Chains A and B, each alone.
Chain A
Amino acid sequence: MSKIVLSHIDKFYGDNHVLRDINLTIEDGDFMTLLGPSGCGKTTTLRVVSGLERPQNGVMTIDGEEMINADLAYFAEPSKRGLNLVFQSYALWPHMTVRNNIAFGLKIQKLPRAEVEKRVADSLRMMRIEEYIDRYPNELSGGQQQRVAIARAVASNPKLLLLDEPLSNLDARLRVDMRSELQRIHRELGTTVIYVTHDQVEALTMSTKIALFKAGEISQVATPMDLYMNPIDLEAADFIGNPRINFLEGAGHMDGAKLHVSCELAEYEFDRSDMTEQEIPESGDFPVVVAIRPEQIHLTTEKSTDGIPVKVYANQPAGSETLVSLQGAGGTDFLAKEIGLAQYDIDQTVYAHIAPEKINIYDAKSTRLIKRTR
């Protein structure tokens, strides 16, 4: 149980500025995911939190207790931070059996033997790998090793559990199983979790909060829903969501309390209340980007007043869903997603319905979100 506060953390490797002014608060019991493409500093953040790396600037507290204070060159030992870490490589000690791998830290803490036995048994049971207790790591499959690594981390009853891309070495099917497993563990133990991944599906499905990383900076911290609905900038919008969000160029201008936007498909008018704090020109036209999720585009074959006529360019039915590539009147390509099987002919004209409240508008110049969805 713990609340972690990172403030103004900077980390350099040589002259390489890897973490840039990281500010992040993780509430007690959160499942916080650090999400971002590879090389953006997620692992480094995790290692800073765990104490394996020392940042050059910044402060970190856990439950109000200072763990890092770079100004005072104070860094608490990793083992004094009440946390445990699951490495991406698992880092199981190859010369120890599963039992000894898990018992290692407990023995170091000089727990009574019976307590050690009990904790080993408990964590193995929790991970459902009791039968492998006397095997060596190289006698286990990747998925089993993964479970041992998690069992080892939870055996010490950490207040904070750190996981570095734990599922990246597993095959697709196992990954889905382990996702629910991890959620269950989080619920059962009630520990705060920091979870690193580059996989947005993992992030969206498991977390209570997501911190989106971009080149060593945190660009957005939000709930999965909010992150999906209102990515803070074009890059985030592009990164989150599969299939990718549609971007259409447009022009906007402020008209008193209203934002007018026109693009190839239609013209819209939005209330001030739907807009973000982002600064935009109060008068005159300015370029914007209209962003629409593919699943927010509903297609009908009958003509209607609010339907926008578009041409079917390609049709990709995939069982549970169908992706339809469309072309607007001006020749712009965009994508719609329909649930279930749908059949359209190539070059057929269909009518697209898009609810204005489901549209994001970005300022093309600053690339920042100016109008939110509801």
Chain B
Amino acid sequence: MKRKQHRPFNPIRLKNQILNVVKNPFNMIVAISLVVLFCLIVIPLLQMIATTFTVAKSELRRIRGAEVGDFTLYYWKYILTSGMAGATLWGPLKNSLVVGFFTVLVSVPLGSVLGWLIVRTDIPGKKLLGMLVVIPYMVPSWCKALSWLAVFRNATSGSLGFLAGLGIPIPDWLAYGPVAIVLCMSLHYYAFSYINVSSALRSINSELEEMGEICGANKLQILKSITIPLVLPSVLSSIIMTLSKSIGTYGVAANLGNRIGYFTLATKMKTFINGSPQAVGYAMSLVLIALAALIIFSNQKVVGVRKSYATIGGKGGRSTEMKLGKAKTPLMIFLVVFLFFAMVAPMFVLVMETFQITTGNGYGLNNLTLYNWIGTVDEAQRYINYPGIFRNPEFTRAIYNTVRLTFIGSILTALCGQFLGYISTRGRGKWYGSATEQLVFIPYLMSGVAFSAMYVAMFNRPRLGGLIPSLYGTFGLIVLTSVVKHFPFASRSGTSNMMQISTELEEAADINGANFWQRMAKIVLPLAKNGFISGFMLTFISIAKELDLIIIMMDKRTQTMSYLAFTYSQEGYNQMADAISVCVLLFILVCYIIANKFGADIGKAW
């Protein structure tokens, strides 16, 4: 018996087949969302690829005999083989890889050790420590760059930082460039490893370790031959995540590198996209995407098969703590010192700098002012164009834009996420389920700058014969970019949420006569509510932090607080930039506290 039997043509069957598809709203929804995903993800990508092979107006003079719109290899030759290739692609690419490599080298061991200490040992104050350790991740990475500058700035960029102000000579290689970038990013991305490793450790039954003890292994041997191999898969995937993230990060690299002409792929790319030739920037972002895809897929090849045993031992395993004994005090000191230098000190310097008249000039009363917060222009003691941020209409607008963007963006993202999650769980094992999953995963491969470059390339002129107007510079485009970029995370949280709603609950309603919309309204939505709220809060925080993603599209009208702080810092108004980042920090912290109230798990926030 064959699955597909040949049946002679029958008009009634055809009618019924069509009715079966059309009458089921789920099919329609799947169709619509696949089309929308295709338009929002695949077409922009293809469009960007096409742009890199098409002559643009600005290059007419440089490409002999070409017309606008002709096919050309000019841009790819420009970055790959021309005399400019070294400065455009290979140099920044090397820098990106170096920065990424060293960030992994610092942050992964750091995060893993912290995870082990807090989950598996009898270190005191675990609960508090566990909370403090993830706070640096809440601080946007570009804020860290600003704190770094507040501490290490030297005469090269005009005003002095905290240390230089104390008379300690700070060399350029420490204040700016790769060392600074690596350390700042490490203090951010160690959270990946911490969260991955600690959750892997939690899922390992401590009886496995105790068995080792019974067999006569000492603590070091147990660690080496039982614990570490079991968490290795999660360490590997932390390496991959850290690597692909840090290669694409813009904010840190720009704040700490641009001043001394140290460019990574992400920062160099932006100078092209904002300037010319734009297509070179797009070509570079394709290189970035390819790099991330390569890293992630090779990870899936290596880890994918073996990852499964990360949860061996299952849930409910008792967890006995390892006695640290004599090592307890030094390790505790290490933790406190780490938290002090990673969090307390830079934050203190950052906050204090907002009250200083001259940075790096100490905290004497004669150097303190509230000007940066509430001053007016005529009070200015130095040449400053701007009033204090609370009197600055630009800042007010930035607050408004930030709140507007985060609210609208995260509500839309969370809704779409639940929706996509619904489609991929209900379509599990069917072609449309996997198609949705694959499409939604694509934005994950792109760093923020590369992704927004793609959207700019797509929407900087009317499309579909004017059906979609040019969105360049509009708030709508910024929202759209934020929403689509957060699809991978949002749909993953939607999927795990929907997985908990058994299909049988829906089928029971189906049998009781509820149609698709009634099932949605009465069964799925009420049950998805909690997951929705926590998904919403996490996206909210993530969008509030975002700088890289939207920096290419911002202008004075649409700028958010992050962007404003970034511009001020680039213009040398360090205190104001600091003041704004303090506001951003407070905003995020408040959101985080609220999110925690709703049971949102920050460990899932990327």
Q: Which A residues lie at the B interface, using CB under 8 A?
A: 10, 12, 15, 17, 20-21, 50-52, 56-57, 71-75, 78-79, 83-85, 87, 89, 91, 93-95, 104-105, 108-109, 152, 156
- In the bound complex, CA of A52 to CA of B426 (Å): 14
Assess whether A104 is in contact with B502, with CB atoms less than 8 Å apart.
no
Known contacts A104-B514, A105-B512; A91 and B507 CB within 8 A of each other: yes
B381 interface hit (Cβ, 8 Å): no
Cβ contacts under 8 Å, A57 to chain B:
5
Cβ contacts under 8 Å, B527 to chain A:
93-95
Per-residue interface assignment for chain B, residues 6 to 36, with 1 indicating a CB less than 8 Å from any chain A CB and 0 otherwise: 0100101110110010000000000000000
Cβ contacts under 8 Å, B20 to chain A:
73, 75
Assess whether B511 is in contact with A84, with CB atoms less than 8 Å apart.
yes
B226 interface hit (Cβ, 8 Å): no
Assess whether B502 is in contact with A72, with CB atoms less than 8 Å apart.
no
Can you name the residue of chain A whose Cβ is closest to the Cβ of B514?
A108
Known contacts A73-B20, A79-B513; A87 and B508 CB within 8 A of each other: yes
Q: Which B residues lie at the A interface, using CB under 8 A?
A: 1, 3-5, 7, 10, 12-14, 16-17, 20, 502, 504-505, 507-514, 518, 522-523, 526-527
Known contacts A10-B1, A15-B3, A21-B1; A73 and B17 CB within 8 A of each other: yes
Task: For A79, give its contact among B5, B14, B502, B512 (CB under 8 Å).
Answer: B512
A-B contact pairs, 29 of them (CB 8 A): A10-B1, A17-B3, A20-B1, A56-B4, A56-B5, A72-B13, A73-B13, A75-B20, A78-B507, A78-B510, A78-B511, A79-B511, A79-B513, A79-B514, A83-B511, A84-B511, A84-B512, A87-B508, A89-B502, A91-B505, A91-B507, A93-B505, A94-B527, A104-B514, A105-B511, A105-B514, A108-B513, A156-B512, A156-B513
B72 to chain A, nearest CB (A): 47
Can you name the residue of chain B whose Cβ is closest to the Cβ of A77?
B510
Can you name the residue of chain A whose Cβ is closest to the Cβ of B526?
A95
Cβ contacts under 8 Å, A109 to chain B:
513
Can you name the residue of chain A whose Cβ is closest to the Cβ of B12?
A72
Cβ contacts under 8 Å, A89 to chain B:
502, 504
Can you name the residue of chain B whose Cβ is closest to the Cβ of A78?
B511
Cβ contacts under 8 Å, A104 to chain B:
509, 512, 514, 522
- In the bound complex, CA of A89 to CA of B507 (Å): 12
- In the bound complex, CA of A78 to CA of B4 (Å): 24
Can you name the residue of chain B whose Cβ is closest to the Cβ of A83?
B511
A76 to chain B, nearest CB (A): 11
Cβ contacts under 8 Å, B509 to chain A:
93, 104-105
Cβ contacts under 8 Å, A108 to chain B:
512-514, 518
- In the bound complex, CA of A20 to CA of B508 (Å): 26
Q: Residue among B7, B10, B512, B513 with the most chain A CB within 10 A?
A: B512
Task: For B510, give its contact among A12, A52, A94, A156 (CB under 8 Å).
Answer: A52
Cβ contacts under 8 Å, A12 to chain B:
3
B601 to chain A, nearest CB (A): 21
A246 to chain B, nearest CB (A): 37
A51-B511, A78-B511, A91-B507 known; 18 new pairs, CB 8 Å cut-off, are: A52-B507, A56-B4, A56-B5, A71-B10, A72-B12, A75-B20, A78-B507, A83-B511, A84-B511, A84-B512, A85-B508, A91-B502, A93-B505, A94-B527, A104-B512, A104-B514, A104-B522, A152-B512
Can you name the residue of chain B whose Cβ is closest to the Cβ of A17?
B1
B503 to chain A, nearest CB (A): 9
- In the bound complex, CA of A71 to CA of B5 (Å): 10
Assess whether B13 is in contact with A71, with CB atoms less than 8 Å apart.
yes
B268 to chain A, nearest CB (A): 49
Cβ contacts under 8 Å, A84 to chain B:
511-512
Can you name the residue of chain B whose Cβ is closest to the Cβ of A57?
B5
Assess whether B508 is in contact with A91, with CB atoms less than 8 Å apart.
yes
Assess whether A105 is in contact with B505, with CB atoms less than 8 Å apart.
no
Cβ contacts under 8 Å, A75 to chain B:
20
B162 to chain A, nearest CB (A): 54
B526 to chain A, nearest CB (A): 5
Task: For A56, give its contact among B3, B504, B514 (CB under 8 Å).
Answer: B3
Cβ contacts under 8 Å, B1 to chain A:
10, 17, 20-21
A101 to chain B, nearest CB (A): 9
Assess whether B523 is in contact with A93, with CB atoms less than 8 Å apart.
yes
Cβ contacts under 8 Å, A105 to chain B:
509, 511-514
B562 to chain A, nearest CB (A): 39
Cβ contacts under 8 Å, B10 to chain A:
71-72
A306 to chain B, nearest CB (A): 51
Cβ contacts under 8 Å, B17 to chain A:
73
- In the bound complex, CA of A74 to CA of B512 (Å): 20
B542 to chain A, nearest CB (A): 28
Cβ contacts under 8 Å, A83 to chain B:
511
B118 to chain A, nearest CB (A): 32
- In the bound complex, CA of A151 to CA of B199 (Å): 42
- In the bound complex, CA of A83 to CA of B527 (Å): 26
Cβ contacts under 8 Å, A93 to chain B:
505, 508-509, 523, 527
- In the bound complex, CA of A25 to CA of B54 (Å): 69
Cβ contacts under 8 Å, B523 to chain A:
93
- In the bound complex, CA of A158 to CA of B510 (Å): 14
A5 to chain B, nearest CB (A): 20
Known contacts A12-B3, A20-B1; A87 and B512 CB within 8 A of each other: no
- In the bound complex, CA of A217 to CA of B10 (Å): 29
- In the bound complex, CA of A95 to CA of B525 (Å): 11
A320 to chain B, nearest CB (A): 39
Assess whether A79 is in contact with B522, with CB atoms less than 8 Å apart.
no
- In the bound complex, CA of A129 to CA of B4 (Å): 48
B129 to chain A, nearest CB (A): 34
A314 to chain B, nearest CB (A): 40
- In the bound complex, CA of A250 to CA of B156 (Å): 103
Cβ contacts under 8 Å, B7 to chain A:
71
Cβ contacts under 8 Å, B12 to chain A:
72, 74
- In the bound complex, CA of A56 to CA of B3 (Å): 7
Cβ contacts under 8 Å, B4 to chain A:
56
Can you name the residue of chain A whose Cβ is closest to the Cβ of B509?
A104
- In the bound complex, CA of A26 to CA of B243 (Å): 64
A75 to chain B, nearest CB (A): 7
